Amino acid sequence: MGKVFFRSIVLETEEVYEPREDSFLFAHFLENLDLKGKKILEIGCGSGLLSILCSKGKAEVTAVDINEKAVECTLQNAEKNGCKIKAFQSDLFSFVQGKFDIILFNSPYLPVDEEKEWSAGEGSELILKFIENCKIHLFPNGRVLLLISSLTGLEKVLQAFRQEGFKTKSVAEESLFFEKILLLEASQ
Ligand SMILES: C[S@@+](CC[C@H](N)C(=O)[O-])C[C@H]1O[C@@H](n2cnc3c(N)ncnc32)[C@H](O)[C@@H]1O
């Protein structure tokens, strides 16, 4: 069984996306934010690393994933790391109710044949659908943190945020072997 460590967090990752550079770039950014009392929604929680980190930062966390194994894994990892997280299966926002201060999404950004069940499919349709649905789940001063790859089609993503009335900036970046990963912050 795969085990991944981040600070004091220990994660079991059997049959789910194993946290790697993208997850850690996101995690490093989150651990420097003041999340106390914030209502946070994570879309695509995988093994739960980002949600657990937010919960340790005293945020109230809801985590969803389309993959039921990821939901189970997040709940088990949360419990093992002494965190209380609400997690359930959902295709993006389909079963999500209510509004949040921050919505997180480390998106499945590689083309279909390069990843398995966590793939987004060709193009960036999933990410565009995500952006279209953010606003109704955000409080007025809420923001979105979305991690994408330079392979995703950055211009399309930025344009989609603009169309929804968001300002965007890149808050963290890392160059990998064949791509660059970017963490975008979108605010209204
Ligand atoms: C790149 S992984 C990120 C996992 C974890 N958040 C991390 O940072 O390590 C993307 C996750 O999105 C999930 N996912 C893919 N399509 C989804 C959808 N339509 N709705 C919700 N989650 C989805 C995948 O199952 C996967 O767990």
Output the pLDDT for position 151.
Answer: 84
Task: Give the pLDDT confidence of 101-142 residue by residue, as tens digits.
Answer: 999 999 986 654 444 444 444 458 899 999 999 999 999 999
Output the pLDDT for position 131.
Answer: 97
Phi, psi for residue 166 in degrees, rounded to 5? -100, 145
**Beta carbon of 43 within 6 Å of any ligand 1 atom:** yes
For residue 166, give the amino acid letter: F
Task: Give the pLDDT confidence of 145-177 residue by residue, as tens digits.
Answer: 999 998 888 999 999 999 999 999 999 999 998
Q: At what angle do helices 68-80 and 49-56 cross, to 10 degrees?
A: 40
Ligand 1 pocket check: which of 29, 106, 127, 151 to mutate, most ligand atoms within 8 Å of Cβ?
106
Output the pLDDT for position 117.
Answer: 45
Task: Give the pLDDT confidence of 44-61 residue by residue, as tens digits.
Answer: 999 999 999 999 999 999
Ligand 1 closest atom vs CA 129: 19
**Beta carbon of 92 within 6 Å of any ligand 1 atom:** yes
CB 16 within 8 A of CB 73: yes
Output the pLDDT for position 118.
Answer: 43
Report the predicted TM-score, pTM, of the whole model to 2 decimal places: 0.94
Q: Which fold has domain 3-187?
A: Rossmann fold (3.40.50)
- Residues in the chain, overall count: 188
Mean pLDDT of the chain: 92
